Amino acid sequence: MSPNATGWGAFRRALAAGQSGIRRIRLFDPSPLKTQIAGQILDLDLKRFLPDSDRDLRHVSRAVPLSIAASTEALTDAGLLKLGDGRATARMGMEESRRFGVCIGSGGGAAEFSERQYAIFFGRAGGHADADRLSIYNIPSSTTGNLSSELSIYFGLHGLSHVVSDGCTSSSDAIGYALEHIRRGRLDRVLTGGVDATVTPGIVAGFDVMRVLASRWNDEPEKASRPFDASRDGFVLSEGSWMFVLEKEDLARARGATIYAEIRGTGATCESYHRVKLENGNESARAMRLALEDAGLAADEIGHVQMHGTSTVMNDVIETAAVKEAFGPSSSRLACSSVKSMIGHPQGASGAAGLAAALVPILDGVAPPTINLAAPGDGCDLDYVPGRARAISCDACLINTLAFGSKNAALVVSRYVA
């Protein structure tokens, strides 16, 4: 569920076409704010994914129906879902469901719901007149950990139900965590990926104060997210959910499921430097090398890197240096791109969005472009597939992610060969 397309097929086509999903904010009135643009999902009836009257949008974060929508598509595509009595149920017995877990990543978690609840409680004028309109589920629905519980309950899954929340590396780490549970034989399947829905007045204002959002492009939203370009002035906040079914190969083959790719390796490090700044990218490079080592692949076997590519001046330069350090001479022939140029920055869902984008070179033979890249900035000297998609022969991709607090994570995904 992405700002530039809803649905897996539409997302693949949108990336190949270089389609932007950045628009003026419509989820609330952005007029008082310096930044008035974002990546939003506006063409999806969220209530369709909350069929029960006690689970309507008033009682949960916007992240919940977004993640249910993406999960519904993933489970249906995998042949693991049936619908009945207004609620989705996994197509399996109790013993199978006990070995089917949920592990998702989210940076903002339920922050959107909490902000709504505080607005009700304090009222626009600062009074408490609206306190009786608070949701009865104010407390549980305000927690980040409850996001996975909503998915477990909705789909009837009885394995572990966890949320990884460590900033913009959240979903990369969640996918890596899911992989380890399957490798160790603790689970057979995991519903994994990421979700964030943090386009709110308070969060946009907070990022504005930090001076990290693009603010010069309110009249031309589609041009605002411009990773690695000399005229970039910050990232574009966005929302979305990208979910996957990760399972043992023999189970998928026995069911006749479409196997899109194989998660081969993960790596994670911490630079231990600053709350929001990066130092030099050395630990990001090490995370990429760890992922390659875990995957059992050499640097020259990677055909595409899906960059974190936020469109902030410092991060783009440091990430470029990190990729060059991690890949050495191979970096000169890599096709690197940033899906954020089209969808904005979905925070903790970044790794999952990057994984979805990295499947396009493997499945369709197309490297997604970095749109809005007219003239690379100083220190940005890789091949970022500027402007338009490019035909590519690619058997393996690396997805790189960075986060506040000096965190780094990388994933390696490869073509599935039966």
Active site residues: 168, 308, 345
Find the helix packing angle between 170-183 and 350-364, rounded to 10°: 70
Structure tokens at 118: 């505080």
Q: Is residue 263 classed as helix, strand or coil in its secondary structure?
A: strand
Q: Is residue 399 classed as helix, strand or coil in its secondary structure?
A: strand
- Which of the 8 DSSP states describes residue 155? H
CA distance 357 to 311: 17
C-alpha closest to that of 206 among 392, 65, 339, 34: 34
CA distance 49 to 243: 15
C-alpha closest to that of 241 among 314, 120, 343, 359: 343
Evaluate the CA torsion angle 220, 63, 176, 259 in order and state its sign: negative
339 neighbors 359 (Cβ within 8 angstroms): no
CA distance 17 to 20: 9
Q: How many angstroms from the chain centroid is the CA of residue 374?
A: 26
C-alpha closest to that of 415 among 244, 261, 252, 304: 261
Provide the CB-side half-sphere exposure for 248 (13 A, CA): 15
Provide the CB-side half-sphere exposure for 389 (13 A, CA): 22
CA distance 81 to 68: 12
Structure tokens at 8: 């897996």
73 neighbors 378 (Cβ within 8 angstroms): no
CA distance 188 to 247: 6
CA distance 30 to 36: 5
